[in-house]
């Protein structure tokens, strides 16, 4: 199973699938993110903050990801606004919610 960490989910990630597609979103804890996940986090500041939260290196990697039955996505959804440029920690009032996303 391929595993990617992303900072957003887009319907375009399903473009190679035929309809209908059933996608399961499961809220998880940061500690549930596997260390062998491949980063597809497209913003350096977001990657830096996530590295601190998760306790392992999350490199910036601006790439496209497609979700299929052989792929598992871990979504780090920022809540609270847009990270200020140069952030290395979460500003007050911000948080990440984490989700496991799969085709079912």
pLDDT in tens, 49-99: 999 999 999 999 999 999 998 999 999 999 999 988 888 889 999 999 999
Q: Return d(Cα 100, Cα 32) in angstroms, integer.
A: 9
Q: Which residues constitute the domain of residue 26?
A: 2-103
Quote the pLDDT of residue 88: 87
Say whether pLDDT at 4 is over 90. Answer: yes
Q: Return d(Cα 44, Cα 67) in angstroms, integer.
A: 23
Q: How many domains does the chain have?
A: 1
Say whether pLDDT at 32 is over 80. Answer: yes
Say whether pLDDT at 18 is over 90. Answer: no
Residue 64: partners with Cβ closer than 8 Å, 6 or more residues away: 40
Q: For residue 58, give the CATH number of its domain.
A: 3.40.50.11170
- What's this model's pTM, rounded to 2 decimal places? 0.92
Place of tokens 């979700």: 67
């Amino acid at each position: 199973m391929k595993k990617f960490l992303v900072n957003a989910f887009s319907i375009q990630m399903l473009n190679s699938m035929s309809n209908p597609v059933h996608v399961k979103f499961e809220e998880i804890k940061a500690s549930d993110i596997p260390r062998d996940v491949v980063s597809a986090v497209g913003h350096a500041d977001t990657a830096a903050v996530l590295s601190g939260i998760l306790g392992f290196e999350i490199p910036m990697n601006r790439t496209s990801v497609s979700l299929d039955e052989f792929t598992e996505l871990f979504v780090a959804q920022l809540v609270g606004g847009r990270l200020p440029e140069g952030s290395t920690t979460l500003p007050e009032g911000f948080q990440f919610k984490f989700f496991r996303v799969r085709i079912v």
